[in-house]
Structure 1
């Protein structure tokens, strides 16, 4: 799993004033919509006794109160109230939780999960269809019992379509993939791939006119860290899917898809579009969930690659470089609790880098190590 990237955590329409729990990179977060409409993103862990802030309530203007002892935190993670303290007693400087930069874009709430300063953060991807009035969007999600890199690579793998999807998306009689060129920079890659199409069926078949084309141009691409683009140029319009593969844990992925189409753009056709997305995805599910090894190998030579795997190879090579650069979620991001083999991920936030003297505020030690600290006075 890769840190120091913008991750889409939730659909914007699902985030309201009430605190909402989400998970990414093995860590729990709490989201809520502030009065100004912006979304706050904090680690879902009260620094006092580990209460889940997502089970709490909002206090004052935009503070969140822990359900256990009522500690109140501002959207920047700073604790501003400890109800048990008598009047005049201050609040420890280390009474704070990780807060992550957030933005709402393309119908999704994004958070930067890492501690890089703003000028060093990778850019967010650009989805031009979202603001194009010619397109209509639908939102679909599911959870997969597989590693997010396996689900991600599956979408850019054009060669599987005739076999996994049959005549629903591919053409078993014409499985060949002509050679294609990958266009890439340090944060994304894409390629125009020629596929032999199946005959259109159902509602979409009504738009078919003329002779069935020999090939359909499909643009496949990936955006770091976990997004896949699938752009199918149909004879009657464009279908573009942005597939967000959110790593809940190493072996479990939440997939959130935003799908755009510039045909049948009325709300009445949304159900049909969602049904098609779901049907295609459910054909992929059993194959992806059965892949071995479960995790993507670190060694590029551990699996055999051919020319039609060029997009996956490009991803793995870039991933290899980022791992060398220290962007892989590793031992420094994992804390161990007082139950054997019980671990949790804690991704460092920008405040840790900005306030190095408070860095230990987020470190949770195991019992019996002699590292327990006494109450710190301000």
Structure 2
């Protein structure tokens, strides 16, 4: 799993003026919408006795621990300890990790890492969002598989005739012509020609009985977003999958689908039905894949020219692993009780404020004295 990226952790329309728990990279976070409309994101862990802040309430714009009533601002600082008598100060260590948040493209994005702003990778660009000719629908599900397996499945065009035969692909024409990958530091995509089956139902009313081929654009955006753009005879269907790693072997998929045909709300149900059908066909295969985690060694699995997008992704993740952007033992804290472990993603405040860098003292594996640190 990769740190130091923007992660879409929630649909923006679901975030309200109340605490809510979200999970990403094995860590729990509490998010809430403040009265000015912006969203706050903290580690879901009161520094006092480990209460879950997401179970608390809001006092104005501050989240309150349900256990002892400690109140935290959006920057992670504790500003009230009810048990303290009047005049007693609040310890500097009374704070939790706070993470930068941006609301964009219908999603709430949190930066999970400690890089300074000028070094952070970009949020993937979604050109269709806000375009009045496109109508979005939102859907989510939990996949019992690693998020990278889920990502590779979407950009893998060669599986379409077999997993989605008679719906998206033609099993009698499974060939994938060679294609060119366009890539930059954080993104790659390719236009791929596929042979579709005959369209049925609502879509079949507008489509010709038989198309020789359609061009789809498959792409990935680091760290966890994949795009599928299908050019139909009557319009465009564009799906963005945000594959949120709940843990190494569990993924929350939040999908936004855009279409510029049948733009009315009346067609949303049909669009969601087709999205669910596609995804459920994929689920059976992806959840059964072995090994569960993507190998680091490119030679560990056999690759073909039709796997060019996946190969590009694996090479780039290998580079990032060498740069220290993968979660490692330094991001796992261990308590005094054996085998009690948790992921803790360092926040920018640890780097920005040296005086408070040791305010959150966690025990790391094999060391009872040093706090958890992120890789540079």
- Scaled to the shorter chain, the TM-score interval is over 0.9
The count of corresponding residues between Structure 1 and Structure 2 is 371
The normalised TM-score by structure 1 is 0.96
Quote the Cα distance in structure 2 between the aligned partners of 1:168 and 1:80: 57
Match of 1:357 in 2: 355
- TM-fit CA distance, 1:336: 1.1
Match of 1:40 in 2: 40
- TM-fit CA distance, 1:371: 5.4
Quote the Cα distance in structure 1 between the aligned partners of 2:361 and 2:173: 56
Match of 2:2 in 1: 2
Q: Which stretches of structure 1, 4 residues or longer, exceed 4 Å deviation after superposition?
A: 369-373
Residue 232 of structure 2 is aligned to residue 222 of structure 1: no
Match of 2:374 in 1: none
Gap runs ≥5 in structure 2? 372-376
Match of 1:148 in 2: 147
Match of 2:100 in 1: 101
Match of 1:187 in 2: 186
Quote the Cα distance in structure 2 between the aligned partners of 1:213 and 1:42: 51
Q: Secondary structure at the match of 2:138?
A: strand
User: Counterparts of 1:110-189 in structure 2 under 5 Å?
Assistant: 110-189=109-188
Match of 2:195 in 1: 196
User: Counterparts of 1:1-378 in structure 2 under 5 Å?
Assistant: 1-59=1-59, 61-209=60-208, 212-365=210-363
The normalised TM-score by structure 2 is 0.96
Cα pair 1:188 1:221 within 8 Å, conserved = yes
For residues 258-280 of structure 1, give each alpha carbon's deviation from its aligned partner in whole angstroms, at most 9, with x where no partner exists: 00000001000000100100011
Quote the Cα distance in structure 2 between the aligned partners of 1:13 and 1:187: 27
Cα pair 1:5 1:225 within 8 Å, conserved = yes
Q: Say what the alpha-carbon RMSD is for the aligned residues.
A: 1.7
Quote the Cα distance in structure 2 between the aligned partners of 1:371 and 1:212: 68
Cα pair 1:145 1:251 within 8 Å, conserved = yes
- TM-fit CA distance, 1:360: 2.2
Cα pair 1:335 1:363 within 8 Å, conserved = no
Q: Secondary structure at the match of 2:166?
A: helix
- TM-fit CA distance, 1:13: 1.1
Quote the Cα distance in structure 2 between the aligned partners of 1:155 and 1:356: 43
Quote the Cα distance in structure 1 between the aligned partners of 2:155 and 2:98: 33
- TM-fit CA distance, 1:94: 1.4
Quote the Cα distance in structure 2 between the aligned partners of 1:234 and 1:372: 57
Cα pair 2:361 2:370 within 8 Å, conserved = no
- TM-fit CA distance, 1:254: 0.3
Q: Secondary structure at the match of 1:257?
A: strand
Quote the Cα distance in structure 2 between the aligned partners of 1:370 and 1:364: 9
Match of 1:376 in 2: none
Cα pair 1:180 1:193 within 8 Å, conserved = yes
Q: Secondary structure at the match of 1:276?
A: helix
Quote the Cα distance in structure 2 between the aligned partners of 1:112 and 1:64: 20
Q: Secondary structure at the match of 1:128?
A: coil
- TM-fit CA distance, 1:370: 6.8
